[in-house]
Chains A and B, each alone.
Chain A
Amino acid sequence: MCGAYRMEMVSPPMILLHGTTRQRAERILALGPDPRFCEPGEQATENGFSTYLDHGPFLFGDPDGYAHGKAREFPDEGGPVILVLQVPDAIVQNAITEWFPLSQGLVQFDLGSGLEELLAVWSQIASSALIRSLT
């Protein structure tokens, strides 16, 4: 399966944004998105991995807002950043469902809806990813 995805990497990647704190962005880059990630004091729950198309639309709030919100709530995590990912179109297609058409601008990776495929090529995605600081 991974071979098939590697072949798809030749198609133009999509730029996806994830607003978070620096500490979390570095952890995601190193280990890949953890759908059971839990915030301090929380119990682990399945929450998937939410990203936005870089050109929008931002119908669910924009990534900057999420980054600032998380940084305000967790001030010891290095401040707000945007994780900028280049994800092959074939991987993104796996996250498109009847609830999450691409036209909404939100690319939601859930277990069973694209997350496994994303994790399978994560090392390649991480190598081209950027962490953009927000001031």
Chain B
Amino acid sequence: MIHSNIFADRVQVVFRPTERGVVGLVDDLLGLCRLYQLRINFRDDSCCVRHLGADAQESLEIPVPKSVFRAALARIAAICNEQHPESVTPYSGEGTIAVLPPVSSCSEKGVAPSTCYVSFINTPRDQHFEMRFSTISAGGRNRFTVLLRDKRTVTVFGHALKYVENAANTTDCGSYGILSRTGGGEVLVALFRASEVIGVFSGDMTDPDAPGLVGPSTSAVTATRDAQRQRALDDPSQGL
């Protein structure tokens, strides 16, 4: 699956040691927060990295020394406390972290800092970490998840969804566009042909197995998604 390969590549790059050490690892993990919501557990000398919303079997096993993972969690706790004093202990906590945009996009106008929601446990017996993109970080924009018929999933940030009719061709089903507000106007930031779209969801798909999260069970999410995919495939006229 294309999406999974990109995900795996990105995660593996993040876990590659650099001269920035564990601090760099955490910076890069938080940077990934712009793209993915992650749950990371440590077990048997490796990190189990799972993309929230993905199937459990799609998780990645990445060998990392335990002390590295524990130091990364300690760094997360330290950042939480730097930004919100005494909000977490070194051993557990949850909160939000403002993440600056990547250097490469700093020059781009309108790239706002992200906000990551993080929760973690860092005790000798148990270590895990979860991070989710906070929708407020997109400057009031929503996160749209687009399911395509070829099984790809695309995430787009924008303010609204709009059906765009193809007036020039009445046999064409038209397209779905994601709109974003800029400087008093609206621009299309993404356009998907309706015939290629199964569904568009607004908001995050959370990991229902994770403690503290509200949502249906994994099987329910999968079943809902599969049912919607099947209905859409059976009925090409079905919209969103």
Contact = CB atoms under 8 A, between A and B. Distances in A.
B62 to A, nearest CB: 13
Contact of B90 (A66, A98, A100): A66
Contact of A47 (B67, B75, B90): B67
B78 interface: yes
Contacts of A45: 66, 124-125
A11 B90 CA distance: 34
B19 A101 contact: yes
Nearest to B66: A46
A99 B17 contact: yes
B228 to A, nearest CB: 43
Contacts of A61: 74, 77-78, 81, 90
A93 interface: no
A15 B81 CA distance: 25
Interface stretch (A23-31, A75-83, A103-111, A116-124): A103-111
B125 A43 contact: yes
Interface residues of A, number: 26
A110 B90 contact: no
A86 B74 CA distance: 24
Nearest to B45: A46
Given A45-B124, A101-B19, A59 B90 contact: no
A13 interface: no
B22 interface: yes
Nearest to A48: B67
Per DSSP, chain B at the interface is helix
Interface in B31-59: none
B21 A47 contact: no
Contact of B124 (A47, A99, A100): A47
B192 interface: no
Given A101-B19, A101-B21, A104-B22, A110 B78 contact: no
Interface in A55-98: 58-61, 65-66, 69, 73, 98
B70 interface: yes
B75 A59 contact: yes
Contacts of B81: 61
Contacts of A98: 17-19, 21
A100 B71 contact: yes
Interface string B109-148: 0000000000000011100000000000000000000000
B91 A60 contact: no
Contacts of A46: 66
B23 interface: yes
Given A69-B89, A108-B67, 18 more contacts: A39-B124, A42-B124, A43-B125, A45-B66, A45-B125, A59-B75, A60-B22, A60-B71, A60-B77, A60-B78, A61-B78, A66-B90, A98-B17, A98-B18, A100-B67, A100-B68, A100-B71, A110-B65
Closest 5 CB pairs of A and B: A98-B17, A60-B74, A61-B78, A48-B67, A99-B68
Interface of B: 17-19, 21-23, 25, 65-68, 70-71, 74-75, 77-78, 81, 89-91, 123-125
Interface of A: 38-39, 42-43, 45-48, 50, 58-61, 65-66, 69, 73, 98-101, 103-104, 106, 108, 110
9 contacts: A39-B124, A42-B125, A45-B125, A59-B75, A59-B78, A98-B18, A99-B21, A100-B68, A106-B22
